[in-house]
Amino acid sequence: MPQPTPAIKNWLVESAKQLTNAGISTASLDAEVILAYALDQNRTYLHAHSEDNLDANILHQANSYLEKRIKRIPIAYIVGFKEFYGRKFQVTQDTLIPRPESEAIIELLREILPPTNYHLPTTNLIDIGTGSGCLGITAKLEFPDIKVTLADISDAALIVAKKNAKKLAANVKIIKSNLLENYREKADIIIANLPYVDKVWTVSTETHYEPDLALFADDNGTALIKRLIDQTDTKLSDSGFLIIEADPVQHTELIECAKKHSLSLVKQSGYAVAFKLQR
């Protein structure tokens, strides 16, 4: 005789306990996200049907997701997406998981761009190290009049970015490039969330599941950002902007580096820093 399956509310309570024991601070939320994903429903459904018993197949699927999360696999990799700036972006273990901190880049972009570009020449924006495409695609959807290029050195990441662009109906160009090497135009705006984690820093267990290529850089984490700053000499248009993400402890050093390339500080906001080329 088949064993009775737990009600939704009971599965959530027990799963949250297991996640808490695994050292996960967002245990209750993660349990809800996992079960909602297994049910193909939103989290509101869980509370409206809390007394419902789970189907055996759903229970098996939810438990398999739970086991992965207990091993500290990031929830975004388990469910296959992460929300960024109000939109869902597909992610895989070939891409960095979008962080809320990176939304500051879009906010700085909002301050730089005029309300409308209809009366202006086309603004060329390139998103370097695009990963899932969350920054460049968001820029295109928030500011439809700009011309956006997504660039990454990883073929696997570019596949994910292309899928996200298609799903979200963002008309963007996608190129494989080591920073700006294969970009043949002059950029008016460069945005970049490049690897900036120093290999000696302590990182979370979840971070170990993300691609090293998207996380770590030499020279105390600043090597790739400094290379990008060097490339602005020939790739950034006069009066163009560079917006980067880096740990705030790195900002002073990067601001000094940028000054040597005629890039003056416009604004710092959280992890994001905006510069303007002034020759």
In a domain, 16, yes or no: yes
Whether residue 253 sits in one domain with residue 116? yes
Whether residue 125 sits in one domain with residue 251? yes
Residue with tokens 């996640």: 19
pTM for the model:
0.91
The predicted pLDDT at position 139 comes to 96
Whether residue 198 sits in one domain with residue 111? yes
225-237 per-position pLDDT tens digit? 999 999 999 999 9
Q: Give the whole-angstrom CA distance, residue 122 versus residue 232.
A: 19
Domain count, the chain: 2
In a domain, 83, yes or no: no
Whether residue 19 sits in one domain with residue 126? no
Q: Structural domain of residue 25, as residue ranges?
A: 8-71
Residue with tokens 């696997």: 156
In one-letter notation, the amino acid at residue 48 is: A
Query: CA nearest 70: which of 33, 39, 27?
Result: 27
- CATH number of the domain at 17, please: 1.10.8.10
The predicted pLDDT at position 108 comes to 96
**pLDDT average, residue stretch 19-27:** 94
Q: Is the sign of the CA dihedral 125, 131, 137, 139 positive or negative?
A: negative
In a domain, 84, yes or no: no
The predicted pLDDT at position 116 comes to 58
Copy the structure tokens of residue 261: 């390339």
153-192 per-position pLDDT tens digit? 999 999 999 999 999 999 999 999 999 999 999 999 999 9
